[in-house]
Structure 1
Amino acid sequence: MTAPKIRLVEHTGGLAAWSIRHPVGVVMITLAVMVLGLFALERLGIDLLPHIIYPEIRVRVVDPGVPAKVMEDKVTRQLEEQLAITEDAIYIQSRTREGRSSVDLSFAYGTDIDQALRDASTRLDRAKRFLPTSIEPPIIYKRDPSQRPVAELAVSSPLRDPVELRSWVDYTLGKWLVNLPGVAAAEVGGGLVEEIQVLADQQRLAGLGLDILDIGDALEAANVDVPSGRLQMADREISGRTAGRFQRLDELTDLPIVLDKDGAALLRLGEVTKVIEGAEEERLRIRLNGVPGVKLSIQKQPRANTVTVVEEVQHRIDQLHDNNIIPPEIEIHPVDDEARYVRQALNNAINAAVSGALLAMLVVYLFLGSVRRTLIIGSAIPIAILVTFILMTMGGLTLNIMTLGGLALGIGMLVDSTIVMLENIYRHQRLHPQEPPEERSRLAAAEVNSAIVASTTTNLAAVLPFLFIGGLVGLLFRELIFTISAAILASLVVALTLVPALSGRIPAGQEGGLRRTLNRIVESLQAGFGWVTARLLKVAWLIPLLFIAGLAAALPVLQQAEEIFLPKMDEGRVSVRITAEQGISLARMDEITRRVEAIIQRQPEVESYFTQVGGFVFGRSRHEAPNRAGVQVILKPLLERGGISSEDWIERVREEIRKARLIGARVRLYSRGIRGIRMSQGDDDITLRILGPDLETLETLAA
């Protein structure tokens, strides 16, 4: 009777039976997969979140000094008329401030945002015909969090003036960093740009029949390099160029100005003007921890590794310091470092995954009492994870908090299948010691083979529908679901190949004292469970009533529970926004901001703070607003600040600012959310929009 049964197993054992018969082949294939998995892990990018591109396109137009009303009439309305007819646009929003016009286009999730960007760019080109000639070149871009700087540095020097410092950062430090692997741009903001001022004597110009426009035309015509053609010789040719651009200050003062049409009467520019070498007017101030400086933003390439790029930048700066290439009086401090938060989030996810794997191995050892079987589970977990890395690389995923969370969940499902296979083989070894080892393993694998496949398929069927969720939820959790699915498939393959191939080679052996003790405990629990079940079956109607009562008691708690999209993460980043009345001078705004800085500096939990007064800088773009200032506060790690949360710190500082009585200024503090995620049009939990034709009434209601 035994032979037909064994022969049936040979035909129904499937992949597990084949693995038991070919353990060496399975091990060699496993080693090859591990090598591929390690290569795949090396190619995986590291980021905080999945690559999210919101279905939004933004247009920015800057014309410094122009009043908001004029910007609205001359720029914003023209942009709205042209951009509103962009194909598939479902929402358009504009904001106009002094010298700045912003128009945002929103599209439905799932729209080809690259095609929408091309269409919007065409509309913008048409709108340029109606825009003033004084504007700076319009900027159009899609809302892609990966385009945000991965690191922001503040460069300061007590010995160099703002012009010299900015020039050194822009033309020296920036060039050392921009050629690093993965760095897309090193953009400088703040400081002062060198400027040559030509101050005309209006009375002398009027006496000579000239005006300021004549001086401007003369400067523009003279400050050019003109190509001179080619000088051809017998065996070569030389391209010529007439150098006309100004190189020295005296060249400007000696520039001839024509007084009549015949060109007979000439005078030098220095006779009717005063030429001064200086800097542009200071309209925006930047400082770190109270020290004036220049902001340097590092942007990475779209698919580059965030952590690697930041580490390469820091390594290059350290190397330049060690070689004394960076002058000793120049200080470079990080303002914001995205890699810091990426490391923290990834370390937490990795620790959770490793802890889960170790606990799973501990449970296996307690219940099986075999170190070698425990090591099988311990080896199956990383192998399945390496298989998951291969699938993630093929799917174009990165290592982020979502994919690592999927791996952590997948480990639990992985252990389920492997433990079922391992325990059943061990049980057959104990129950049928007289049968050949290979046959016992085949029989055990055949019994649970279909059950493992069915349970794995059920798990996949439960999670795969979430891949079809749209909107921001779909963008965020698609990689999580993909990783869970990949981990489930990897666990199935490992449970049907490597686990039976290795388990069948381990003899049952004698049960140790720990195993016998655990068996007695489990048998006692089983007996107790049987006793309780027998009693409950006599009153079977009571069980549904108890479940209904428990559900009724839980419903109020469920309804009162707070519903949030994502849990709040205390990253220790606090933003302070200071707004004053229109018309305030930069010096007065800076005075108010310094009072706020003094309050922040007194807080022991503060690690650093970065201040921008008179507007803000983003990359090379800057927005001038004398009545606005911002302070970015970086708090120390949670343990180093005594467990005080960012919200508690904000409440304490808000009370101190209230006591300072900053007349004419409004100060707002808020904890910055997860970098790169915005779930609404504003930065607040609730945003109210008031519509109406009267701007003064709207301002009164908003206040």
Structure 2
Amino acid sequence: MKLIKTSVLRPVGVTMIVLAIIALGLVSVRNLAVDLFPKIDLPVAVIATSYQDAAPEDVENLISRPIESAVSTVEGIDTIQSQSQAGASLVIMMFKNGTDLDQALLDVREKVDQVKSFLPEQANDPNILRFSPEAMPILYIGLSGKDTASLTNLADSQIVPFFERQPGVASVTVEGGKVREIQLELDPVQLEQYGLSPQQVMSALNETNSSASVGTVDKGNQDLQVRIIGEIESVEDIKQTIVQTPTGATVHIEDIASVKDTFKEQAANSFVNGEEALVLSVMKQTDANTVEVAETVQKNMERFKRDLPDDVELKVLIDMSDFIVMSIDSVLENIVIGGAIAFFILLLFLKSIRATLVIGLSIPIALISTFALMYFSGQTLNVLSLGGLALGVGMMVDSSIVILENIFTYRKRGYSLKDAAIEGASELTPAVIASTTTTLVVFLPMVFVEGMAADLFIPLGLTVVFSLVASLVVAITLVPMLSSKFLSKVMDGQGKRYWFDRFLDWVRDKYAGGLRKVMKFRKTSVFVTVALIIGSLALIPWIGAEFIPASDQGQVQITVETEPGSTFAYTEEKVLQVNEILDEYDELIDVSYVTVGGGGPFGGSANNAMYTMQLIPASEREITTNDFVVEIDEKFQQIAGAEITVSAVDHSVSLGDPIQIQLNGPEHDKLREFSEDVLAEISKVDGVFNPTTSASEGVPQLAVKVDEEKAAAFGLTEQQIIGQVQMQFMGQVAAKYREEGQEIDITLIYPEEYRSSIENLETMQIRTNSGAAIPLAEVASIEEIQGPIALNRHNQQPQINVSSAISGRDLRSVMTDIEAVLEEMSIPEGYSYTMAGQAEDMVEAFAELAIALFFSIFLVYAVMAVQFENFLYPFIIMFALPTSVIGVVLGLAVTRIPFSVPGFIGIIMLAGIVVNNSIILVDYINILRRRGIERTEAIVEAGRSRLRPILMTTLTTVLAMIPLGLALGEGAEMQQPLAVTIIFGLTTSALFTLFFVPVIYIMFDNLSQKFKNRKKRKKA
């Protein structure tokens, strides 16, 4: 009351405070970071280790298992996963929510250091790092020109360092580049003639290519350091390097080898829109803002391009920030549209531009105040927080409407402007505070919610809380002050919109008549309402459910996988066939680039190719990304000799596939068979799209098994034999050659005809320590086998994942059918399966949010009990809550939108919103009854009187959400379930508030009177 008086009597002070808040908010909004989603805090750490040329089995036994065993005792670890591939090990540790990841990483490093000495000498030191879902490229930049070799040199020497110097850039990787190499192609005949081995050639190069300090000499008063310079300075120096033969003679390297200044064999090759090019992937720092970094890089890149040669083109292929900007812009547009709709609704009801402006001012002031609070609380502008603002736009005016409506009432009674403002605002301020508080408390239980649901919900909840607190303060300070100055007279129905007053009076009369009938047939009314609630609950299974609605970001990924062991050229041939099909969709594809040989998780593989495509914006095409994926996937099935998988890329908050089945058991081989059976069975389920298994076909291998007894007879060890075989068939880096600041490998290699066939392996000569040569077959057996590509483990047990996308059906329905299929399967003893991916995320999130909903309802009741100082009236008001279920189910069914996390969040928010109308109604009924009005007449009069503000608050909130409910603009799919839930739920609850709550009020009031009468009789 005192605050309201102060605001009315001291308008200058209030105005200055408002202006200061506006200035602070405008500064804050300029500094707010912009991103697509809130920051997802995943407590995940990764240990990566390379073990060159080792088979997956050796990597698993010698590296992955020891590391798993060591880190398994670290406190807070939830699961440990590992993948062992030829030459590399990846151990992924997922910690429990709430774990201090910084301390956990220190513990992990300590455990790894303890086992480091037990790892193979050839293995590199394990690299331990924190995993972040933001560790994805934000820019793909194409570099094209005539000469790939010169482009690679340009990228390494100038472009990559330039980009890595930009603020917020963490690293830049280059795909498709050529790496210079000096190859010494050995001549086996000449080596045999001179009695030399490759190891002797390597030693000669290393001994020649060295420099050292050997002391100092005096020169007058100075000490001169003596340094012997012996480094190779040119390719000619390599040719002239002297090698000592066993007989003491000397030969030059050019006598026994062909020296070639060439390039390493490419592991990957990149094509942009069908043309060979380099692709640079720009990664941002963890704490950097995506949009800001992308804008900075592109702005500075334009200046940098001026210094590039004319025949070199540097251009952005895919900019991840584009979708973020479009999404944020579309949400902002929806907020503006919603605000405009709310403004016109107010104008329609108030019939006064001045009165509308009084309330309309609460929207921008509350918005600007919200931006300031978001900035100081460390929030970002993202689709979820802005979705909260879009919701808040309609709710921001609710408190102001109620206050202004009551000020009008007092003005009509003859009060002066100031007295009407003070008395009207003071009378309903408690009810307004109560109704706002009930909305705010629904967010308190989120403090106890863990995981991804909390990361998603808290930013949205904070935004709504900030906006409602700001709007409440405006309603009880600024609105009374402005009313006392600008509303010189109350609009009494005269004017252009008099027709609406007559229409509203007609609605009031009809409502009053309907209310009297409903109160007369109370049992029938309750039965009908309960039947509708039960009927709507029965429809829930038909709606379906999903984790997070997928956004149509227009990004498509195509994986081309040929037979294991296929050559690079064969894979490129299949890529050309894919290109022919993609050429039919030129008008839809904005940019497309493919990396041949880059599809493996640890690096490239000759039988893999990976496409990344960006379609034109959704507003410019008639087909959705998912429909496009399904259409081209059917055409790709015509390409024989390759497994082609197409998927829409959704940079959402979930990292897993929609369906992921984790198969666990003691043996990899049986798991592989089990996974094939599971894959075959789930492929029959409707909605399963492109199912795959991590148990890929084995790579054909020639297994060379050394007979240690025979080798020892010739004075050889297994390691010596392995070294000589590696030298002949893989080559070996002998030394480094420095030129213009770059280090270039000098590689010893045998001619192609000596290392390309099985016969070459079988007839290979192994040199003994005495210099004699024996066939490899003398000391080893050679067998052709199928070797695994990768070995996975989960919690120190073998694991294989079967994954699938979904199409045409919702996630919950597909998951339910898959679980039914798995239950009918015969599972080998000792083996098991668990559901993971988005299906697991959905179940966990729903469970967490269900707990939050329960506590939210309890807190709403508790707040009302404190406000009314009564347990009965809050209980009556709560009957408006279950009726909202009718609208929620109806809305999702009509719009064909599956239930999801945003929809669940909408239900939690409804728990605090739908009771507001009931609070206003019941509170006013009690006020009238305290004035001596009979109960039935008090209910009817309260209904007639409160109908106007209830309609205004409901319509402003509902209609302001319609742009979001229609999913207008890019990225609006995320907020659509939230908007639809609130639109239909609030509309339905408002209707039942006007009819059903009065019925419940009478029934419980009668029951209360009976108890009071019984007590009186007992006392008597």
TM-score (norm 2): 0.62
Q: Which residue of 2 aligns with 1:285?
A: 269
Matches of 1:172 and 1:658 in 2, distance apart? 43
Q: How does 1:65-76 map to 2 (within 5 A)?
A: 65-76=53-64
Q: Which residue of 2 aligns with 1:465?
A: 445
Deviates more, 1:234-243 or 1:340-349: 234-243
Change (3 A) 1:532 1:50: same
Matches of 1:137 and 1:374 in 2, distance apart? 69
Q: Which residue of 1 aligns with 2:392?
A: 410
Pair 1:685-2:685 in alignment? no
Matches of 1:617 and 1:147 in 2, distance apart? 18
Q: How does 1:319-334 map to 2 (within 5 A)?
A: 319-321=303-305, 323=306, 325-334=307-316
The residue type paired with residue 685 of structure 1 is I
Matches of 1:205 and 1:69 in 2, distance apart? 36
Pair 1:656-2:635 in alignment? yes
SS for the counterpart of 1:309 is helix
2:278 to 294, 302, 308: 294
The residue type paired with residue 362 of structure 1 is F
SS for the counterpart of 1:541 is helix
Matches of 2:25 and 2:471 in 1, distance apart? 14
Q: How does 1:613-628 map to 2 (within 5 A)?
A: 613-616=596-599, 623-628=603-608
1:609 to 576, 592, 595: 592
The residue type paired with residue 388 of structure 2 is G
2:455 to 475, 478, 487: 475
Change (3 A) 1:214 1:396: farther
Change (3 A) 1:631 1:200: same
2:512 to 505, 511, 530: 530
The residue type paired with residue 282 of structure 1 is Q
Deviation digits for residues 448-494 of structure 1, max 9, x if unmatched?
22222222211111222123211111122221112222222222222
By how many angstroms is 1:227 displaced?
Answer: 6.0
Q: How does 1:72-471 map to 2 (within 5 A)?
A: 72-136=60-124, 138-157=126-145, 159-160=146-147, 162-205=148-191, 208=194, 210-224=196-210, 226=212, 245-257=231-243, 267-321=251-305, 323=306, 325-433=307-415, 435=416, 437-471=417-451
Deviation digits for residues 23-57 of structure 1, max 9, x if unmatched?
11111111111221122212211111111131222
Matches of 2:450 and 2:407 in 1, distance apart? 44
The residue type paired with residue 281 of structure 1 is E
Please identify the structure whose Cα radius of gyration is greater: 2
Contact 1:100–1:623 (CA under 8 A) maintained in structure 2: no
Q: Which residue of 1 aligns with 2:650?
A: 673
Contact 1:34–1:387 (CA under 8 A) maintained in structure 2: yes
Deviates more, 1:131-140 or 1:115-124: 131-140
The residue type paired with residue 655 of structure 1 is E
SS for the counterpart of 1:611 is strand
The residue type paired with residue 284 of structure 1 is A
Contact 1:422–1:500 (CA under 8 A) maintained in structure 2: yes
Matches of 2:113 and 2:235 in 1, distance apart? 39
Matches of 2:435 and 2:282 in 1, distance apart? 48
By how many angstroms is 1:137 displaced?
Answer: 5.1
SS for the counterpart of 1:514 is coil
Q: Which residue of 2 aligns with 1:485?
A: 465
The residue type paired with residue 113 of structure 1 is L
Q: Which residue of 2 aligns with 1:695?
A: 669
Q: Which residue of 2 aligns with 1:6?
A: none
Matches of 2:594 and 2:326 in 1, distance apart? 25
The residue type paired with residue 175 of structure 2 is G
Contact 1:93–1:105 (CA under 8 A) maintained in structure 2: yes
SS for the counterpart of 1:674 is coil
Deviation digits for residues 52-102 of structure 1, max 9, x if unmatched?
131222223334544323333333333323233333222122222333322
Contact 2:35–2:291 (CA under 8 A) maintained in structure 1: yes
Matches of 2:441 and 2:260 in 1, distance apart? 75
Matches of 1:392 and 1:232 in 2, distance apart? 71
Structure 2 spans left out of the alignment, 5+ residues: 680-1020
Contact 1:425–1:504 (CA under 8 A) maintained in structure 2: no
Matches of 2:665 and 2:320 in 1, distance apart? 37
Change (3 A) 1:374 1:228: farther
Contact 1:190–1:617 (CA under 8 A) maintained in structure 2: no
Contact 1:93–1:104 (CA under 8 A) maintained in structure 2: yes
SS for the counterpart of 1:49 is coil
SS for the counterpart of 1:453 is helix
The residue type paired with residue 48 of structure 1 is L
Matches of 2:453 and 2:536 in 1, distance apart? 27
Change (3 A) 1:507 1:479: closer
Change (3 A) 1:136 1:192: farther
Pair 1:646-2:625 in alignment? yes
Matches of 1:509 and 1:240 in 2, distance apart? 101
Contact 2:173–2:281 (CA under 8 A) maintained in structure 1: yes
Change (3 A) 1:237 1:168: farther
SS for the counterpart of 1:346 is helix
Matches of 1:186 and 1:230 in 2, distance apart? 44
Change (3 A) 1:176 1:258: same
Report the number of matched residues: 674
The residue type paired with residue 25 of structure 2 is G
Matches of 2:213 and 2:406 in 1, distance apart? 86
Matches of 1:503 and 1:403 in 2, distance apart? 32
Matches of 2:635 and 2:667 in 1, distance apart? 39
SS for the counterpart of 1:275 is strand
Change (3 A) 1:299 1:636: same
Contact 2:664–2:671 (CA under 8 A) maintained in structure 1: no
Matches of 2:612 and 2:76 in 1, distance apart? 37
Matches of 1:150 and 1:46 in 2, distance apart? 14
Matches of 2:437 and 2:638 in 1, distance apart? 63
Matches of 1:317 and 1:273 in 2, distance apart? 45
Contact 1:570–1:645 (CA under 8 A) maintained in structure 2: yes
SS for the counterpart of 1:188 is strand
Contact 1:75–1:131 (CA under 8 A) maintained in structure 2: yes
SS for the counterpart of 1:399 is coil
TM-score (norm 1): 0.89
Deviates more, 1:245-254 or 1:689-698: 689-698
Q: How does 1:1-16 map to 2 (within 5 A)?
A: 13-16=1-4
Q: Which residue of 1 aligns with 2:765?
A: none
By how many angstroms is 1:126 displaced?
Answer: 3.5
Structure 1 spans left out of the alignment, 5+ residues: 1-12
Matches of 1:239 and 1:514 in 2, distance apart? 101
Change (3 A) 1:572 1:211: same
Contact 1:429–1:507 (CA under 8 A) maintained in structure 2: no
Deviates more, 1:57-66 or 1:351-360: 57-66
% identity of equivalent residues: 29
Change (3 A) 1:464 1:107: same
Change (3 A) 1:192 1:379: same
By how many angstroms is 1:315 displaced?
Answer: 2.0
Matches of 2:394 and 2:226 in 1, distance apart? 74
SS for the counterpart of 1:130 is coil
SS for the counterpart of 1:424 is helix
Deviates more, 1:301-310 or 1:221-230: 221-230
